[in-house]
Amino acid sequence: METRQLVEASATVITIATVRAGDVYKRLDKPSYGSERLMFGFVTDVMNNGEAAAITAVEFTSEYGTTYEPAMKVFGPDTDLVLFPASIEEFGVAISEAYRRQEQAVESARTDLLHKETVLARMDQVIDAVKAPAPVVQIQG
């Protein structure tokens, strides 16, 4: 990702970034609730028809309390987008943390599934016992 700044006569700073497929970046995301969070992204495609441009990317966050699921994003020509350069090392640390947390979530889900299967097996035993005919006892006398 190549970034350049231009200063206009009115002292407005314009930043122009050249983004290519394969670039990694970070950006601030403001969800509808809560505080801003840092998102990491990997540019999958840059589309340009001469008039408008759009970017597709895979994004994730490594912040605690999130789902850590990668999300496909499309940023169109009307999207007010501010990207910050990220190094491969920085991206690697963030995705490693997200990956580790996802592994923990998978292990927790496996444990939960095992527990639920055990409960279901016990319920099957009770249902089978209720369906079984009562033993016939003959009294002689």
pLDDT for the residue 6: 47
Helix (H) or strand (E) holding 42: strand 37-48
Q: Are 42 and 1 in contact (CB under 8 A)?
A: no
Tell me whether strands 24-29 and 13-18 are parallel, antiparallel or unpaired: unpaired
pLDDT for the residue 25: 92
The token pair that represents 91 in the structure block: 């991206």
pLDDT for the residue 100: 86
Q: For the chain, what are the domain ranges?
A: 2-131
pLDDT for the residue 94: 83
d(CA 82, CA 62): 19
pLDDT for the residue 133: 76
Query: How many C-beta neighbours within 10 Å does residue 40 have?
Result: 23
Q: Are 54 and 47 in contact (CB under 8 A)?
A: yes
pLDDT for the residue 62: 66
Catalogue the E-assigned strands of 76-132. 84-85
pLDDT for the residue 2: 59
Taking 50 as the pLDDT cut, the residues of the chain under it are 6-12
